[in-house]
Structure 1
Amino acid sequence: MGRPTRRSILKGVAAGLTLAACGSNTSSGVDVDAGDTPDARPIQPPDSLTESTSFRLGISAGDLAADRVVLWSYYTGTAPLVAIVWRIGDGDTYVEELGPFEATRSDAGFIHVPVTGLLPGARYRYAFVELDGEARVARSQIGRFRAPIADNASEVLTFGAVACTDESKPIDALARASERADLDAFLFCGDNAYCDGATSLADYRAKYIAHFGRPEHVALRASAGMYITWDDHEVKNDWNPETIDEAQLATAFKTFFEHAPLTEATPRRIWRSARWGKTAEIFVLDCRSERLPSTILSSTPQYISAEQMTWLKLGLASSTATFKIIINSVPITNMPSVWDAYPTDRWEAYGAQRTEILKFIDDSAITGVLWLSGDFHLAFISKVSTSGPGANQREVLCGPGGQSSNVLVSTLNAPQFSFATGTNNYTTLRLDPATREVKVAYHDGAGTEFHSESFIP
């Protein structure tokens, strides 16, 4: 049988598709030099404004697309607010001002501001500004993000990543990541807030304040645009979607979206994708809320919904990006047998569906797939399977950003695992479309790169 064509793959996947794409899939045909000089208009740099104390959780930028972004904050003050964005040119100069954009607070103080009119690949700064009449009198901290490169562009990109940041543990690694200015975006892979014990809306909000309000977390989220998913601790440890109290789950969803720079175009839909030119496409999965543990022993176990699976297949098959990064929260790797004492929390317990997606990638000859995960309180670089579907696919486990090391790290050895560590870290992925290589590097709380390796996924 000949190698499948992209057209044949897409036809097969689209036949089962009930929704073509999630609301935040990104696409831009614009290819504008980020250094172009804009039409003359007044620019008021924010640096001289006093920093307000009313933005206690900082600011962040997410749902990044080539021409748009969602800006986020939490505001406890009473002044009228706007969001303003500045494009940065050579020499770290302000070359264009966008806005002001209306910044409307929810009753609880959360702000989500959609911003359009970005230039693909350009670097930006942004801030929320307090007004007295039309005068700008104070501001939030100043954040940074880069707009994804144009669809027809191809260049080296570097993403940061982390998972598992417990507010009771040091998170020096996040502080070191925030000091970098070369990260194109940052990927939060789950367990970003440990909400165990929370049941009410006030409980959940307090947990997020305890986590996201730490100076290191505030600094990191302001330092680069971000993509984010959740894992179990954003709800409670090892929660079961089939048995959890619906009111509690609704509260956990509400709090997640309140604190994330995301649009919720479809209620409760976390999964989405983002295009970074010809270099990379990022697929953010929700591997928690759609699983059905009661189906584990059936012939059709469900780890993610059929809708999410079909969307993922279509996205992977249609992507023309060199690298397809799948943010997965819990590893898909076939773990050593000692880990099977508790297998029900990961893809392996839902074997038929795990095989389905791995075999689809293999049979469709989709190259450049890299699974990116967290959850295990350790980091590793692995072959997803020792044989069969997934044997040629790779997974990177990032973090933990602030957690105790998993004692089973010593069981992860060659040849399946080329590296494993329990050291708290942030992870970087350097994606080179010319060589098709990804360089994975781990950085500790002192900022030291203590391991790196390159491979072609």
Structure 2
Amino acid sequence: MSAEGNATPDQGPQLITRRALFAGGLSLGLSALPRRAPLSDPFRLGVASGEPTPGGVVLWTRLAMEPTAPDGLGGMPSRPVPVHWQLAKDENFRHVVRRGTEQAVPDEAHSVHVELDGLQPGAEYFYRFKADGELSPIGRTLTAPAPGTRTRALNLAFTSCADYQSGWFTAYRRMAEDEPDLIAFLGDYVYEYGPYQHPVRDQAGGECLDLAGYRLRHAQHKSDPDLRLAHAVAPWAVVWDDHDIANAWMGGELEPGRQAAAFQAYYENMPLRRAQKPEGTRLRMYRSLRWGAVANLHLLDTRQYRDPYACADGAGTVGPECVERFAPGRTILGKAQEEWLDGELSRSRATWDLLGQQVFLMEMDWVNGAGEGYSNEGWDGYVASRDRLAAAIDRYGRNGVVLTGDVHSHWAGEVRRDFRDPESKPVAVELVTTSVTSAGDGLDEYPNTAALLAENPHVKFFNGRRGYVQARLTQREMAVDFRSLPRVTTPGATAYTSGSFVVEAGSPTLFAP
């Protein structure tokens, strides 16, 4: 029997088993479940979980009967709606371990954030919601291993940059089929742009300028079945980049009302804790998640606290004459975040310290031949900030791995202690994920790929397709596969491994397996 099956109207949603989910038995993933009254289904945005700890996790949903309603409120009534939830140890919900009720209120776009604690460490759970007589799809989540645990590997997937108009979200489905323990999203979950002249997919609404616009954009993304599937199979850890707010955004740069609206919509639509709930234009995104003693994931915010762009009014490429980028006091993280990260690294006892962040940390000369050109948007525009971080990783003897998004292509390279010294030793590796859709189909290589790699010998790999990165971390090594898709301008592409590397604990270099 197919997943659509022979459910009677009184059965509610039919159970999705992991076997059916990952064997491709569903043409539309979790969203294909039958319901008693499809036209009034309040769970069109799916379910999600995030922020796993050894004893807890956040469960999320947002009620919306009309995801692309122009007012951004999803066709919901202007009243609170009680939402019941269950957490179970099994997919059949025969062993329910927690249950409760939350009020989904209009002021938060009828979103629900359930923060759980006191759960079993390193355990798999299943969850669901019920509202107005309708059951949600079933989600799977995990808690982190107990502190000090080194025997539990971390299967991590990470990606970035999902522009709805640029293509289909197939990469999310392929990532879900890998059944990771944790998905890290490194920024640009939505794009604030208005409609393109020739989009691959039509986008609802214009440029995001107010709360209704940002809510609408998030809702349209969540209505995509591939994205809903990825949210339903594993907990997420998210951090923003510029397009979640505005192109090339820096904190304090926007009109406060627009910035506050973007912050509010971001919180409403992500499985975040109350600690990340905004207060107007203030929202602390940097934080650490721990996977036993195998890995710490430090999520960084390179947008909100940075100094202005060097040698220009905005983001761009600057030449060797731009000495401002070397100024000792310049920072991309801000003083408070730098001090926090230094403390996290000094206290860390995990095998791996992962730095989830947005823009190129490695030095990158983007000009082929005799000239030089460096992006003032990445860490090349904040050299002193990079030097302080590299020094901290070296000083504390950490196995540092930088996880980066933003640039819409796969890269892998080594972070040098001082890029001004050709003999400087590597202190960390950097793994750059490509985008989900941004920049269209792309190519495996571009005409200047070989020249770029020659200009930057610390860079070991490039692939210009869309996709994600898959990694398995143990106390001895980190095995990395760059997963690429041949196309996103049509749906359903298969994923292939475009590059593989191994990083051994204690050796911040990349090896081909």
Range of TM-score over shorter length: 0.7 to 0.9
Pair 106,190 (structure 1): closer, same or farther in 2 beyond 3 Å = same
Pair 281,310 (structure 1): closer, same or farther in 2 beyond 3 Å = same
Whether 2:184 is the aligned partner of 1:187: answer: yes
Pair 246,443 (structure 1): closer, same or farther in 2 beyond 3 Å = same
- Cα offset for 1:101? 2.0
Amino acid at match of 2:273: T
Kindly indicate whether the alpha-carbon contact (under 8 Å) linking 1:85 and 1:97 is maintained by their aligned counterparts in 2.
Answer: yes
Kindly indicate whether the alpha-carbon contact (under 8 Å) linking 1:158 and 1:430 is maintained by their aligned counterparts in 2.
Answer: yes
Question: Which residue does 1:142 correspond to in 2?
Answer: 138
Matching of residues 21-32 of structure 1 within 5 Å: none
Equivalent residue of 1:403, what SS? coil
- Cα offset for 1:106? 2.5
Pair 96,388 (structure 1): closer, same or farther in 2 beyond 3 Å = farther
Amino acid at match of 2:395: D
C-alpha separation between the residues in 2 aligned to 1:174 and 1:68?
Answer: 24
Whether 2:51 is the aligned partner of 1:57: answer: no
C-alpha separation between the residues in 2 aligned to 1:412 and 1:210?
Answer: 37
Whether 2:494 is the aligned partner of 1:453: answer: no
Whether 2:474 is the aligned partner of 1:432: answer: yes
1:283 counterpart (282, 298, 318): 298
Whether 2:453 is the aligned partner of 1:413: answer: yes
Pair 432,222 (structure 1): closer, same or farther in 2 beyond 3 Å = same
Whether 2:435 is the aligned partner of 1:400: answer: yes
C-alpha separation between the residues in 1 aligned to 2:44 and 2:373?
Answer: 42
C-alpha separation between the residues in 2 aligned to 1:320 and 1:357?
Answer: 18
- Cα offset for 1:302? 2.3
Amino acid at match of 2:54: A
Question: Which residue does 2:88 correspond to in 1?
Answer: 86
Kindly indicate whether the alpha-carbon contact (under 8 Å) linking 1:61 and 1:225 is maintained by their aligned counterparts in 2.
Answer: yes
Kindly indicate whether the alpha-carbon contact (under 8 Å) linking 1:193 and 1:212 is maintained by their aligned counterparts in 2.
Answer: no
Question: Which residue does 1:422 correspond to in 2?
Answer: 464
- Cα offset for 1:94? 5.5
Q: Give the percent of matched residue pairs that are identical in Structure 1 and Structure 2.
A: 27
Equivalent residue of 2:387, what SS? helix
Equivalent residue of 2:465, what SS? coil
C-alpha separation between the residues in 2 aligned to 1:303 and 1:348?
Answer: 10
Amino acid at match of 2:178: R
Question: Which residue does 1:127 correspond to in 2?
Answer: 128
Provide Cα deviations, 1:5-60, integer angstroms capped at 9, x if missing partner: xxxxxxxxxxxxxxxxxxxxxxxxxxxxxxxxxxxxxxx99845964621122111
Equivalent residue of 1:393, what SS? strand
C-alpha separation between the residues in 1 aligned to 2:57 and 2:101?
Answer: 14
Amino acid at match of 1:179: E
Whether 2:357 is the aligned partner of 1:328: answer: yes
Matching of residues 150-165 of structure 1 within 5 Å: 150-154=146-150, 155-165=152-162
Q: TM-score, normalised by structure 2?
A: 0.73
Kindly indicate whether the alpha-carbon contact (under 8 Å) linking 1:123 and 1:146 is maintained by their aligned counterparts in 2.
Answer: yes
C-alpha separation between the residues in 2 aligned to 1:349 and 1:390?
Answer: 21
Kindly indicate whether the alpha-carbon contact (under 8 Å) linking 1:158 and 1:184 is maintained by their aligned counterparts in 2.
Answer: yes
Matching of residues 262-411 of structure 1 within 5 Å: 262-265=272-275, 267=278, 268-293=283-308, 297=324, 298-338=327-367, 341=373, 343-366=375-398, 368-385=399-416, 387=422, 391-404=426-439, 405=442, 411=451
Question: Which residue does 1:3 correspond to in 2?
Answer: none
Amino acid at match of 1:102: T
Pair 259,93 (structure 1): closer, same or farther in 2 beyond 3 Å = closer
C-alpha separation between the residues in 1 aligned to 2:459 and 2:483?
Answer: 15
Matching of residues 239-254 of structure 1 within 5 Å: 239-254=249-264
Kindly indicate whether the alpha-carbon contact (under 8 Å) linking 2:87 and 2:125 is maintained by their aligned counterparts in 1.
Answer: yes
Amino acid at match of 2:496: T
Unaligned runs of 5+ in 2: 1-10, 16-32, 65-75, 194-206, 312-323, 486-492, 509-513
* Aligned pairs, number: 403
Equivalent residue of 1:384, what SS? strand
Amino acid at match of 1:157: L
- Cα offset for 1:180? 2.9
Equivalent residue of 1:293, what SS? coil
Deviates more, 1:115-124 or 1:398-407: 398-407
- Cα offset for 1:425? 0.9
Amino acid at match of 1:81: V
Q: TM-score, normalised by structure 1?
A: 0.82
2:63 counterpart (52, 75, 85): 75
Question: Which residue does 1:36 correspond to in 2?
Answer: none
Provide Cα deviations, 1:97-142, integer angstroms capped at 9, x if missing partner: 12212222121211111122321111111111236xxxxx431111
Equivalent residue of 2:375, what SS? coil
Question: Which residue does 1:31 correspond to in 2?
Answer: none
C-alpha RMSD of matched pairs (Å): 2.5
Unaligned runs of 5+ in 1: 1-43, 132-136
- Cα offset for 1:295? 7.4
Deviates more, 1:166-175 or 1:92-101: 92-101
- Cα offset for 1:378? 0.5
C-alpha separation between the residues in 2 aligned to 1:388 and 1:353?
Answer: 20
Kindly indicate whether the alpha-carbon contact (under 8 Å) linking 1:285 and 1:328 is maintained by their aligned counterparts in 2.
Answer: yes
Provide Cα deviations, 1:267-322, integer angstroms capped at 9, x if missing partner: 40111111110111111111111112067734311211211111111111211111
C-alpha separation between the residues in 1 aligned to 2:115 and 2:12?
Answer: 21
Whether 2:114 is the aligned partner of 1:113: answer: yes
C-alpha separation between the residues in 1 aligned to 2:43 and 2:219?
Answer: 11
